[in-house]
């Protein structure tokens, strides 16, 4: 009887434990997203190297595809690439244990040919827990739909 009561209690607590675990994952991934934004703005290759998975695939809003080495090369070749890189409307959700998807907005200003080029984007990123470290494995950016 005691074993049955303990089993019922543990079973009833499992959603609470899962929700706490999910909230902790969401919080860790949001911290990683903000670190990625800072590293992009500051052209910090070392931080980006730690945050990006070796399996990264980044699909830009124009369809261009990059892997981790390509992203790091861009940052290294173009210090001061961004004048602004701000994230907003971040919505994380753990879709499986160790996998979090984040949707949000990027408000950035790139410097091209010494001219600022502001751009607003929507994005979806996928983060995977790799041996205790959250790393981005996928990023897709798109232009928002025109205002109606």
32-58, pLDDT tens digit by residue? 999 999 999 999 999 999 999 999 999
Q: How confident is the model at residue 76 (pLDDT cuts 50, 70, 90)?
A: confident
Q: What is the pTM of this model?
A: 0.83
Within 43-67, residue ranges assigned H as helices are: 45-51
Burial bucket for residue 105 (CB in 10 Å: 0-12, 13-18, 19+): middle
For the structural domain made of 2-142, what CATH number should be given?
3.10.450.50
Domain boundaries, the chain: 2-142
The owner of tokens 């860790």 is 28
More confident residue, 7 or 77: 77
Q: What is the pLDDT of residue 8?
A: 47
Residues, the chain: 148
> Max Cα separation, the chain?
76
Query: What pLDDT score does 44 carry?
Result: 93
């Amino acid at each position: 009887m005691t074993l049955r009561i303990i089993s019922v209690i543990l079973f009833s607590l499992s959603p609470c434990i899962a929700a706490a675990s999910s909230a902790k994952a969401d919080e860790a991934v949001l911290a990683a997203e903000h670190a990625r934004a800072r590293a992009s703005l500051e052209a910090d290759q070392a931080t980006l190297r730690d945050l990006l998975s070796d399996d990264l695939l980044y699909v830009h809003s124009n369809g261009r595809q990059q892997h981790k080495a390509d992203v790091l090369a861009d940052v290294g070749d173009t210090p001061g690439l961004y004048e602004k890189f701000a994230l907003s409307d971040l919505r994380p959700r753990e879709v499986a244990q160790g996998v979090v998807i984040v949707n949000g907005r990027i408000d950035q200003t790139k410097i091209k040919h010494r001219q600022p080029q502001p751009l607003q984007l929507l994005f979806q990123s996928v983060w995977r827990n790799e041996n205790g470290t959250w790393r981005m494995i996928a990023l897709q950016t798109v232009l928002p739909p025109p205002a109606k």
